[in-house]
Amino acid sequence: RLFGEFVQLKVSLEKDRNYDSQGSRKIVGQSSGSGLGLNLVMKFVSRMGGHIWVKNCEHGGGAVFSFCFPKGVESFCDEDGSRADSSRHLQAHDLSKEDASALRVLVVDDSVINQKVIKRMLERLGVKEIHLASDGLKALEFLGSESPVELPNVILSDLNMPNIDGYELIRHIRQMNQYEMPPKAMACSADWTRETEQTCTDAGFDGVLRKPITFTVLRDFLAETATADAELNED
């Protein structure tokens, strides 16, 4: 159960955002976890054919988390760390260099690590224009400073962030009149529940990319987006 999928209740999450474990009020903008970290770790390890376990320490010394991978794991894993699957590659979408270079992507996430991982995958896919924002407020400040021609046409946003979360961010974006053509906006979440997916679409997202986001999933999404944009331009 420790590695299972779970999320904080809204009341608990709001309390956790505002107060630390000692009951003191947090500094404004200090981020808080959503309770999905261990489940993500388990998924990463499992995709590479490994195992993860936990052992309690004696005398209240906490816990030790350990994992192992089979020898030669690199020989049967894709570039993104997921298991190789020939049938999946047959169904993969192509993303040409021309299509990739036409994409302007804004990544909104309060985790620097998540930002770096997504940015690196985008660069490997050939995307030249990549912008990063640590929360919804910074994203809106960036969007407000751009001209209509330079606005991002793809937005990848986390949901649980300080200041302005992903839900409020997309509501603001959908009300912006700078866009001649609305951007493709995807929520990035490790919460795989249908309720969260419905809440995202109701707020204005076009869909949800499930964390951990793999290289293949990101490539296919961008390829589909580029194809849809090309068809709209032809019309």
Task: Give the residue-averaged pLDDT of 192-204.
Answer: 93
Q: Average pLDDT, whole number, for the chain?
A: 79
Token pair for 142: 């960036």
Say what the pLDDT of residue 49 is.
81
Say what the pLDDT of residue 221 is.
95
Say what the pLDDT of residue 109 is.
97
Say what the pLDDT of residue 45 is.
79
Q: How confident is the model at residue 6 (pLDDT cuts 50, 70, 90)?
A: low
pLDDT at residue 87 is higher than 70: no
Query: Exposed (0-12), middle (13-18) or buried (19+): which is 122, by Cβ within 10 Å?
Result: buried
pLDDT at residue 234 is higher than 70: no
Characterize the bridge pairing of strands 104-108 and 154-158.
parallel
Say what the pLDDT of residue 149 is.
76
Q: Which residues contact 136 (CB under 8 A, 6 or more apart)?
A: 108, 157, 161, 163, 164, 165, 166, 168, 169, 172
pLDDT at residue 4 is higher than 80: no
Q: How confident is the model at residue 1 (pLDDT cuts 50, 70, 90)?
A: low
- Which is more confidently placed, 39 or 208? 208
Q: State pLDDT tens for residues 16-42.
A: 444 444 444 444 444 445 555 677 677
Token pair for 58: 């004696």
Token pair for 185: 């906006």
Q: Count CB neighbours of 96 within 10 A.
A: 11
Say what the pLDDT of residue 77 is.
43
Share of the chain above pLDDT 90, in %: 46
State how far the Cα of 16 lies from the Cα of 31, in Å rounded to an integer: 9
Predicted TM-score (pTM) above 0.85:
no
Q: State pLDDT tens for residues 133-164.
A: 999 999 999 999 888 778 999 999 999 999 99
